[in-house]
Structure 1
Amino acid sequence: MRLAVISDSHDHVWNTRKAIEQANRLGVQLMIHCGDMVSPFMLEEFDRFNGRLHLILGNNPGDQILLMKSVLSRSDRVEFHGCFGRVEVLGMSIAFIHDPLEAGHIARSGDFRLVCFGHTHRWFMEDMGGTLLLNPGEILGRKEQPGWALVEISDAGNVDDIRPFRIERIFVDGSV
């Protein structure tokens, strides 16, 4: 199964649109946004995504009331998790939060195989004793080249495998 991990789009419509087009072309089934989407109108861009979107708030939450109303009208394809999200994919627990310090604490708990975060606007990946800590960088393109993480999860049936997934950094300009 393929999932996209993105963060810190900060209402950059064009880069978000490119990332969604890439995710659709690559057959991504699930997208996790690690916060700072900001404006509810951005959900219209995410309506273009063919899969299911999991969304959390960041430190720039924008209009939370309008965001909630917009999410509720899309409840079949968008799940809003508040400030902390978790999903199970092929028996693997994945957590996502915006704050990097909290993400590190969650990763060290050993309760999840993958912990994703945002906020720093910088790509980061570290194996923390069986838990992978991942920041997909930023969609905005302010601190580094805009991009996201493609996570391919194997369906080998062995969730104890140290690397049940493959991570690829995708840039919105099309380079890898």
Structure 2
Amino acid sequence: MLLGIISDTHNDIDSLEIVLSIFRERGIKTLAHAGDITSPRMLEYMAEFDCYIVLGNGDLIDTDVINWKASVLGMRPVLDKIEFELSGKKFIMFHGNNVPMYREAVTSEKYDYIIKGHTHHFENYMSNRTRIINPGAIYKHDESSAAILDIENDKVEKINLDEY
């Protein structure tokens, strides 16, 4: 199973459409968004996917509206963190600006994957038995990126959006 991973869209619809097109071409049906949607409208573009989405620091003003929009679109609630399981693997996702939450998740060693955002920089590394993934930010800035996780093979592919 492939999981499309994005973060920090910052209301950049053009970049979001590019990355979602890549995900469609690859047959990806499930999407993880690690926060900073910054506009409820962004959910309309992602609604075709089975989405797991968390709030970022840029979403705090519109939390109620984002969750209302998610409900209208039949999507899961958008929370500070979310735990889920795919292909028998345990995930936790949060934006990444909550350092105690991050430390607790890493030291617990109960997750196969931690997905986070916030820094706008791509990361893919192991901490003991847990793979930590930050897809970077998709909005146009120094280096726009996303990620695709092949869960069965534990492989992470960086998608450099500056090439599109």
**Do these two structures clear the TM 0.5 threshold for a shared fold by scoring above it?**
yes
User: 1:3 corresponds to which letter in structure 2?
Assistant: L
Shift of the alpha carbon at 1:174?
4.7
Instruction: Provide the rounded CA distance (Å) in 2 between the counterparts of 1:22 and 1:123.
Output: 18
- Number of residue pairs the alignment of both structures matches: 161
Instruction: Provide the rounded CA distance (Å) in 1 between the counterparts of 2:20 and 2:135.
Output: 14
Instruction: Provide the rounded CA distance (Å) in 1 between the counterparts of 2:37 and 2:11.
Output: 6
Secondary structure at the aligned position of 1:31 is classed as strand
- Match for 1:170 among 147, 159, 163? 159
Q: Deviations over 1:2-33 (max 9, x none)?
A: 00111000000100110111111111121000
Match of 1:136 in 2: 135
Contact preservation (8 Å) 2:67, 2:78: no
Match of 2:89 in 1: 92
Pair 1:12-2:41 in alignment: no
Aligned-residue RMSD, C-alpha: 1.6
Contact preservation (8 Å) 2:44, 2:73: no
Contact preservation (8 Å) 1:8, 1:118: yes
Structure 2 residue runs of 5 or longer lacking an equivalent are none
Please report the TM-score for the alignment, with normalisation by the length of structure 2: 0.91
Match of 1:69 in 2: 68
The 1:104–1:149 alpha-carbon spacing in structure 2 relative to 1, beyond 3 Å, is farther
Please report the TM-score for the alignment, with normalisation by the length of structure 1: 0.85
Instruction: Provide the rounded CA distance (Å) in 2 between the counterparts of 1:28 and 1:172.
Output: 17
User: 1:105 corresponds to which letter in structure 2?
Assistant: E
Which stretch has the larger CA shift, 19-28 or 100-109?
100-109
Q: Deviations over 1:20-69 (max 9, x none)?
A: 1111111112100000001111112213x4x3011110001142222111
Pair 1:152-2:128 in alignment: no
User: 2:158 corresponds to which letter in structure 1?
Assistant: R
Instruction: Provide the rounded CA distance (Å) in 2 between the counterparts of 1:97 and 1:39.
Output: 18
Instruction: Provide the rounded CA distance (Å) in 2 between the counterparts of 1:124 and 1:27.
Output: 23
Instruction: Provide the rounded CA distance (Å) in 2 between the counterparts of 1:39 and 1:81.
Output: 13
Instruction: Provide the rounded CA distance (Å) in 2 between the counterparts of 1:108 and 1:133.
Output: 12
Instruction: Provide the rounded CA distance (Å) in 2 between the counterparts of 1:103 and 1:117.
Output: 9
Choose between structure 1 and 2: higher helix proportion.
2
